[in-house]
Structure formats: C-alpha cells, structure tokens
Chain A
Amino acid sequence: MSTEEAGKTAKEKLKIGVYWSASCGGCDISLLEIGPHLLELVEIADIVFWPCAADFKYRDVAAYPDHHIDICFFNGGIRSTEQEEIARLLRQKSRTLVAYGACACDGGIPALANTKTVEGIFAASYHDNPSIDNPEHLAPQPVTRCDFGELELPRLYPYVLTLADVVAVDYRIPGCPPVAERVWEAIQALAGGNLPAGNSAVKVACTDKSVCDDCSLEKRKMRIKAFKRPHEAVPEAGWCLLEQGFICMGPATRSGCGALCTKANLPCRGCYGPCVEVQDQGAAMIGALGSILDAVTEEQAKEMVDRIADPLGTFYRFTMASSELKGSK
C-alpha cells in the first residue's frame, strides 16, 4: 500500500460502535468469531464505542457529534430505562443502526418474560424461590438514599421490547448468535454501501428460504406419530428430526445459519426468527405441525400435542417480542 493510499484509508476509516443491552453477551463474542477477518476489519474501521471490549463511557458517546458513528451494532432487547436511553442516544449518534442478534431483532430469550409480570419476576428472583436465602426480604430499589446522596438504579419496563419498538432501525441481523461468515459478509456490504436503503429494519445476513431448505436430512414425507423430547430417544441419523417426532423449528425459521443444528443431529431452535413475510413464528410453526400430525380426531391431536413440554416457550423461544401478540395480557 502506498503512502497516499494509506493516508486515504486512514482518513476514510469507518467508525464502529457495539453495545449490549438485554442479552447474554454472546453477540459481542460472536463478532470476534470472524477470526482472521478481524485484522481486515481494523484496517478499514476504528472502534469508537464497545463497553465489553474497550473502555468507553456513556459520556464519551454523548460528546460525539450526531451521526459520528458510521455503523452501530446494537445487541439485546430493551428491558430497562437505561437501555432505552442508550438506544436513543446511539440512534442519534449513529449513521447506521443495526439490530444485531435475535434479542435486538425479535426479543430473544429475555422476551419470554413477557408472559410474566415484573412483580412475579422480582418475587422469583429475590423472595419466593427454594434456592434463595433472603430473610430480610431485600430487593433492589430504584432509588437508595445514603450518606453521600441518592443512588439510582435503572427501572424495568413491563415488557421486553425489540430495538425497533423504541428507535428506528436500519438493518437487522438475526441469529443467536449470528453466524460469523454471514456477519463478515454483512460488514463488508455495510462498509461498501452494498445494502438496500436503510431505515426499514430489513433483515440482512440471512437468506429468503427456511432452515428446511438448507437442511440435508432426508424427508420421507411421513406424518408425526408421537412427539419425543431430545433426552427420550436417540434420533436416527440422516432422517428429518421433525418426522421422527422431535420438535424442530426448521419449517418456520428463516435460514442463514446453514442448518448448523440439524447437521449435529439437534433440532432447530428457531433463532433466526420467522421466514420472509411472516410476523408470527410460533403461529407459523403451529400451522406447519398441524399439517403433518398423524391424528384423525381432535382428541387424538390434543393427546399428542399435550406431550410437548411448554409449547409457548418452544415455538416463541426467540420471537415473543416481535410476535403478533408480543406477550401475555
């Protein structure tokens, strides 16, 4: 690279931000999974905010001019006042805001709590649980007074929301976590400006097909006789897991992962979210299951599906917050 070229690159280096809200932190790690491409990434980009990896404070971000960050990868849903505040701040400071991972796109695992109340969650976490020893019934308070003033904690919202519920999102990268190759392709496309017009929360880094289309297991066009849980039987290698009675979310899940789980003989868990033009992944899965149940009467069908442990949590495992009903009443 000539000095002139190097100077040009340095001048036009992308500024990247990464933030982590209601999620497990796996998305932060998944960015590192791009491996040797990381070196290429640092060549074209500077990290200007990444609390998990580098020492940046919220006040540093607040001091940036608007649209200072070129691409911001935001992972995790919105659960607390702090997360909403930072989501709005990062929207203001970012040119392109990307909802990164299942939680930011569709609520993910934390959004399963949308079927419970905040009071119930506090009770289970701090008071009413066999593994808890809390005789004084202590629980976090939004405001605590002490000698040197008042301490404040972020407060929880009644629901886990997707990032797009709170701010305008340009692109969404689904997956729990997103697969490294797709992420690298997306970063290259973002850097090169080769993506559809933003501000539409369109899902990128995935295909327009379902996981079943990418899955290599043999479909024998057989109906489901009985449902099994993974610990109850050893699946026959090479044969569609759903036909064998293991709940596999393949038919209702968008592809992009390359059917990683079924390659390892594990049923798909549905982390890439609903297929194109579908809003409600769980409903789509019920539709798919209804078509392949080997039941002649409704009673028989009921008997069979009663064997499914936690249908709500299984079918909406990653998408409760973006489903049609979004949670319980």
Chain B
Amino acid sequence: MTENVTIHGKDGPVAADWEPRIIAFLCYWCSYTGADNAGTARLKYPPNADIIRVMCSGRIDPELITTAFARGADGVMVCGCHIGDCHYISGNHKTMARMPLIRHILTELGIEAERFVHDWVSAAEGEKFARLVREVTENVRRLGPLDWPRRMRERGVGHGLELHPWGESA
C-alpha cells in the first residue's frame, strides 16, 4: 500500500503513485505452473509482476529482454525449469549460457544488476516464485523508475521531437 508521500528513488524524487512494473517471462512447463502453485496455495506476493508465458525459457530471445526495458519495464524476470528438467531437454541450457552476456550488456548500459533476475522455478516451487517477486519488487522500488522511454525522448530519439543540444536545458 503506497502512502501519499514522495518516494526518493536513485535518480531523485518519484511520483507518489509510482509502482514498479516488472515483466516476468515464465516457461510453460515449470515456472508458470510454479506461479500457479503460488496462487492456489494463496501465497501473498506483490501484484507488480506482469507474467508472460512462453513455451520454454530457451525461447526467450535476449531481444525480448532489451525490448521490455526499452518500452518502460522497471525490472525483468526470466524463469525456467531447473537444469535437467527441461521439457525440451536442452532449452534451459541455452537460457543459462545467454545470461552472463545479457547481464554484462545491461550493466554496461547503466541498467542496475538488481533489475534483471534469472532463476529456476520448478512446478512445485510456488514459495520460491513468491519470494522472487517480493525480492525483485522491493529492489526495484528502492532503485526507482527506470523510465527508459522518457530518457530516450530527452535524447531526441523519435520523429518530430525537439532536440536539445548538449549544454542547453531540455
């Protein structure tokens, strides 16, 4: 429950009604069922994660992650079956091998490491899923909004927008 006060994020004051928006990519066979498990067990966790179900975590193209941030997500979660449990045998091995590079690129572009979370959630781990969402939401809330679209607008990306040269106030 947000009270009517100004929250202070990492980059300054934040609107009082701001809520972290987290995009969670979950695989169909384990993690989505795990999230379902959290629901049927009536576990409490914040409603900030928007779940997108995909058939396999190996199907989550890194472009989906960069797109989520670029279109305004404050955080992104990627969850799949534990190694050895993949319905498609090796899909999650590919997810795993992509993670170090994705983390490296995001960090280098200034997206804090806590905004991107990757973990394995089995169909029985509703508790773990609820904990992950709680952790990510709290971490992101502490960091404040990422608001990539606004940052890009200020830098003049997009048609017909007024550009502000360096040294002139926006």
Contacts and interface: CB of A to CB of B under 8 A. Distances in A.
Contact of A165 (B105, B154, B158): B158
A325 B100 contact: no
Contact of B109 (A115, A159, A278): A115
Interface residues of A, number: 48
Given A284-B62, A301-B97, A115 B108 contact: yes
Interface of B, helix, strand, loop or mixed by DSSP: helix
Contacts of B100: 298, 301-302, 305-306
Given A286-B105, A298-B100, A165 B62 contact: no
A155 B110 CA distance: 25
A290 B95 contact: yes
Interface string B74-116: 0000000000000000000111111111101100111100000
A164 B160 CA distance: 10
A168 B58 CA distance: 37
A286 B102 CA distance: 7
Given A165-B157, A311-B105, A283 B166 contact: no
Nearest to B70: A324
A305 B152 contact: no
A150 B99 CA distance: 54
B65 interface: yes
Contact of B101 (A157, A164, A278, A289): A289
A327 B148 CA distance: 10
A-side interface mostly: mixed
A283 B99 contact: no
A283 B66 contact: yes
Contacts of A280: 62-63, 66-67
Interface in A261-297: 278-280, 282-284, 286-287, 289-291, 293, 295-297
A326 interface: yes
Given A155-B168, A165-B159, 16 more contacts: A80-B165, A157-B163, A157-B164, A157-B165, A159-B157, A161-B155, A165-B157, A166-B156, A283-B61, A283-B63, A301-B100, A311-B101, A325-B111, A327-B109, A328-B110, A329-B146
